[in-house]
Amino acid sequence: MPFRNLDGDPGFVVPPDPLARFDELLTALDAGRGWMQDKVAIRLAAITLLVTPGDAKRLAASTRTGSAVLGERLGWFSGVDESVRLVIAAQLVKADAHPEEFLDDLERVRQMFRADGLRRGGVYEVLAVLVLRRLFGRIEHEHVERLHGIYEAMKAHHWWLTGPEDFPACAMLVGRPEEPAAIGTGTDAIYKALHEQAGLSRGDPLQTAAHILYLGGVEAPVIVERFSGLLAAFRAAGAKIGTREYDEVAILSFVAQPAANIVTTVRELEAGLRTRLKWLSERDALSLGASLAFVRLVGASGELGTLADAKLLLDMQTIVTARQTASIAAMSAATT
């Protein structure tokens, strides 16, 4: 797998009961929530910290402090709002990294992005830097060149779909050994197979799922068959799987267990979440249940466990996209 193993990370611990640990972290983070703050961000921050040992209140306080530091230096023009800052701060707490150091590195790498001719990506640049740091520790110009090459290779296949919102996914793929052109061809092969064999709708969610599935280094027919079997098992169990859930199924496709076991675990955790959080929507419960199930099923296998980082970064993108869509709709309504 492309990501460094969690075994080498500071203090990685698989909680014996992921749902109980999530509940503990969620309660601690929610205690510091402003009355207008997005609950989705708090849930994602709690998921981020799930494998981080220590007192939940202390972790929540460190995350809040880190978010405030990020807010002081990342202006509104960066596109990194309070919700995204909170989850980034949780990622930094998990990695035992200081926010100021991250911000200094972000500025350094952004200069490399411009020098290499990459278009400005706002918040997506920030997320891409977060991924590259996770991959390599210190980011060098060769990593930026490779990201740019992968981005252009993807754009050659899907110029109408590929944009700055794909920077984080491109960053995830920088760790693959293949040449950028081969990565572009490989992700496109999975994209086409998902559409033609699994009957899934074309578009950005399908492209994202293809990017995730390519991380495993498995031939397109094999990984698509695994994805399709899992998708069918979820639907047979009554789960509503739409385009928003493609990435959930893609992440779970790497778990080496029968599809029935995976689905049963997700549905069990999903039910527990809806009992605890009465206001949780069915879709959000499924997403959180999938994340918790991944931790429970993977256990101490750091090699697979790090895929959860990819999922969290994509979840952050979902927050950004949802807010941008809502903002555009509000502006449109105001002018009509």
At 83 the three-state DSSP class reads: helix
> Tens of pLDDT along 233-265?
999 999 988 888 888 899 899 888 899 999 999
Which of 297, 289, 295, 288 lies closest to 318, judged by CA?
A: 288
pTM higher than 0.75:
yes
Average pLDDT on 216-241 reads 91
Please provide residue 232's backbone torsions phi and psi, each rounded to the nearest 5 degrees.
-65, -40
Average pLDDT of the chain to the nearest whole number: 85
**What is the 3 state secondary structure string of 221-269?**
HHHHHHHHHHHHHHHHCCCCCCHHHHHHHHHHCCCCCCHHHHHHHHHHH
Q: Which of 100-114, 212-226, 248-262, 275-289 has the highest mean pLDDT?
A: 100-114
Q: Tell me how far apart the alpha carbons of residues 228 and 198 are, in angstroms, rounded to a whole number.
A: 6
Residue 157: per-residue pLDDT: 95
Q: Which of 71-85, 261-275, 301-315 has the lowest mean pLDDT?
A: 301-315
> Tens of pLDDT along 160-190?
999 998 999 999 999 899 999 999 999 999 9
End-to-end CA distance of the chain: 50
Is residue 198 within 8 A of residue 228, CB to CB? The reply is yes
Q: Tell me how far apart the alpha carbons of residues 165 and 119 are, in angstroms, rounded to a whole number.
A: 11
Fill in the DSSP letter of residue 26: H
pLDDT at residue 36 above 60?
A: no
